[in-house]
Amino acid sequence: MSNSIVEIEDTKCVFIFGYNASTSHPIVARRINHAKQKGAKIIVCDPRKIETARIADIYAPLANASNVAFLNAMMNVILEEGLQDQKFIDEHTENFDAFREIIKSYTPESTQHITGIEPEMLREIARTYATAETATILWGMGVCQFRQGVETVRALASLAMLTGNLGKPNVGVNPVRGQNNVQGACDMGALFNTLPGYQSFQDPETNAKFAQAWGIPELNKNPGVPLSEVPHAVKEGKIKAFYIMGEDTLQTEPDINAMKQTFKDLEFIIVQDIFMTQTAAEADVILPATSCAEHEGVYSAADRGFQRFYKAVEPVGNVKDDWVIISELATALGYPMHYNNTKEIWDELRSLCPIYKGATYEKMEGLGYIQWPCYDEGPEDQGTQYLYKNQIFDRKGGKAEFFACDWEPPMEELSEEFPLVLSTVREVGHYSCRSMTGNCRALAALADEPGFVQMNDQDAKELGIKNNDLVWISSPRGKVISRADVSSRTNKGACYMTYQWWIGKCNELTAEHLNPGSRTPEYKYSAVRIDKIEDQNWAEHYVVTEYTKLKTRLKSTALVA
């Protein structure tokens, strides 16, 4: 995020694009509510009428997978009506003319057949965002989980640049990242192509710095394999073993039936987790780790903020902290790795990464919150609340680069056999692969297998499906059972499943269609069909039987392990 979560409250316009805060991040949703109370305009662009849409000044139910067309049209209006910040554009940006050339043809009228949005509403949105004294953009997986995910992010950045909404408080481009520490995983270099602190192992000086600290001649200069390309590398025989740490691959990766084949082709699988998951049940070796309540460390929040967390309870059983397991494994492999505590690891990190250097354990003591970059160890440097101060950007010459591209349709096409869009999303009561929340009795009592498929009431009526009926959902890749959640809050022609369910597992339906830049799968667009089940008693019984079988299998595997 360029700016901070606390700043959301003090902006004059919150532009929410493909992000469902009240479900995914309730504490961010509170900030949005406070902004509304303080008089900010709220704009929501989402094909579903999400909670925040109810308090929005303007709610645009844009068509699934129309993001780039929508944003191009919005920027077209801003330019057409002269609402841009020309001074900012002239002084702090590049590539404006080429950008303008592409945007020119995307009028609200010419894009309506793609976005489904009335031209007058689109104009109103453009005016509201562009004329606000300060405006912030919040986005989420409704942007990233598309073939044009990277392009949409760049379009959103261009929108902020066009209106000068960067480099000051209460504005900015703000991807409100998913998990409590997904930002941290990236900050620490848990990516296939960077070192900690977003440094390049291909840069000779950086490479030498790390090699010296770790006592080796040189770091491998070749990038690794991105997670979503592992199945291909396995198929080609380039990967034979898979060490999975804190991921339930057989639940959360797309096209699970293909992934099951990948697991068969692998010679050796290690899983390091805190629960017996479907993935762990397939492992040759399980390394049981402590949970977040049983260890301490540092998280990075979505707005670059480091915060320490502390051990709350003593671990039970034969479990170790993740960092201890990694150290012992490295040592067993012939590279002696030893740390006495997490502070030693953190201090090593700080010594190697200039942007984290000043974020000491002392500053983060208690509820201390230090946002990177924080260069200086002295007490004056308390980190960076917002990026690009004085409109100086992280490119050579310090100018931001405009970007525009043409809208492209999603990778999968609807057909007579599979006429509905399936978009997969989150629900408030369960978390990702559900290993944690599914093992919590109170939460399971609120919602349980096989989960729900949200569908539009008119679509349901045409199919003869009633609210709470069990139904079959099929795609070219698989078929699963789910329970219909019928309402008018979802758009006609689309349905929505959450990816938490083990029996109603939507990833049997999704495809491994990747955005070429980020390698993120197009989880938000698959072609499916929904079929009514005549014998509901049989279906209820089927769900209970399958769920019991799965739980029994996981339990007995855990006992053997």
Ligand X SMILES: Nc1nc2c(c(=O)[nH]1)N[C@H]1C(S)=C(S)[C@@H](COP(=O)(O)OP(=O)(O)OC[C@H]3O[C@@H](n4cnc5c(=O)[nH]c(N)nc54)[C@H](O)[C@@H]3O)O[C@H]1N2
The residue ranges that bind ligand X (CB under 6 A) are 17-20, 23-25, 45-48, 50, 62, 64-65, 67, 140-142, 145, 178-179, 245-248, 252, 272-275, 277, 289, 291-292, 322, 423-426, 428, 430-433, 435-436, 499, 506-507, 510, 523-524
Residue 289 φ then ψ, to 5°: -110, 165
Query: Toward ligand X, which CB reaches closer, 74 or 274?
Result: 274
Measured from each CB, the residue nearest to ligand X is 140
Cα separation of 535 and 518, whole Å? 44
Out of Mo ion, ligand X, none, what residue 89 binds, judged by CB under 5 to 8 A for its kind, is: none
Out of ligand X, Mo ion, none, what residue 425 binds, judged by CB under 5 to 8 A for its kind, is: ligand X
Contact yes or no for 488/456 (Cβ under 8 A): yes
Query: Toward Mo ion, which CB reaches closer, 433 or 471?
Result: 433
Restricted to residues 483-542, the positions that interact with Mo ion (CB under 5 A) are none
Query: Which of 169, 178, 246, 315: binder of Mo ion (CB under 5 A)?
Result: 178
Q: Which two tokens stand for residue 200?
A: 């390049």
Query: Toward ligand X, which CB reaches closer, 85 or 253?
Result: 253
Question: In what order do the strands lie in the sheet containing 13-17?
Answer: 58-60, 41-45, 13-17, 135-139, 172-175
How does 60-81 read in b/e, with b if 16+ C-beta sit within 10 Å? Answer: bbbbbbbbbbbbbbbbbbbbee
- Shortest distance (Å) from residue 559 CB to ligand X: 18
Query: Toward Mo ion, which CB reaches closer, 178 or 368?
Result: 178
- Shortest distance (Å) from residue 501 CB to ligand X: 10
- Shortest distance (Å) from residue 292 CB to Mo ion: 16
Strand pairing class (526-532; 420-425): antiparallel
Q: Mention every residue, 6+ apart, whose C-beta is less than 8 A from residue 58.
A: 41, 42, 43, 44, 121, 124, 125, 128
- Shortest distance (Å) from residue 120 CB to ligand X: 19
Burial group, residue 534, by CB count within 10 angstroms (0-12, 13-18, 19+): exposed
- Shortest distance (Å) from residue 532 CB to Mo ion: 33
Query: Toward ligand X, which CB reaches closer, 225 or 436?
Result: 436
Q: Which two tokens stand for residue 405?
A: 């591209």
- Shortest distance (Å) from residue 49 CB to ligand X: 9
- Shortest distance (Å) from residue 4 CB to ligand X: 18
Query: Toward ligand X, which CB reaches closer, 20 or 136?
Result: 20
Region at 292 (left for phi over 0; alpha for psi -120 to 50; beta for the rest): alpha
Query: Toward ligand X, which CB reaches closer, 66 or 76?
Result: 66
Contact yes or no for 319/325 (Cβ under 8 A): no
Q: Does 246 bind Mo ion (CB under 5 A)?
A: no
- Shortest distance (Å) from residue 476 CB to ligand X: 15
Query: Toward Mo ion, which CB reaches closer, 161 or 433?
Result: 433
Out of Mo ion, ligand X, none, what residue 152 binds, judged by CB under 5 to 8 A for its kind, is: none
Query: Toward ligand X, which CB reaches closer, 288 or 358?
Result: 288
Q: State how far the alpha carbon of 383 is from the alpha carbons of 123, 342, 355, 376, in Å.
A: 38, 21, 9, 9
Out of ligand X, Mo ion, none, what residue 262 binds, judged by CB under 5 to 8 A for its kind, is: none
In the chain, how long is the greatest CA-to-CA distance?
70
Cα separation of 368 and 387, whole Å? 20
Cα separation of 1 and 151, whole Å? 17
- Shortest distance (Å) from residue 397 CB to ligand X: 32
Nearest C-alpha neighbor of 226 from the set 512, 423, 477, 508: 512
Out of Mo ion, ligand X, none, what residue 540 binds, judged by CB under 5 to 8 A for its kind, is: none
- Contact region with Mo ion (CB under 5 A), list: 111-119, 175-183, 318-326, 441-449: 175-183
Out of ligand X, Mo ion, none, what residue 92 binds, judged by CB under 5 to 8 A for its kind, is: none
Which residues are near Mo ion by CB under 5 A?
A: 178
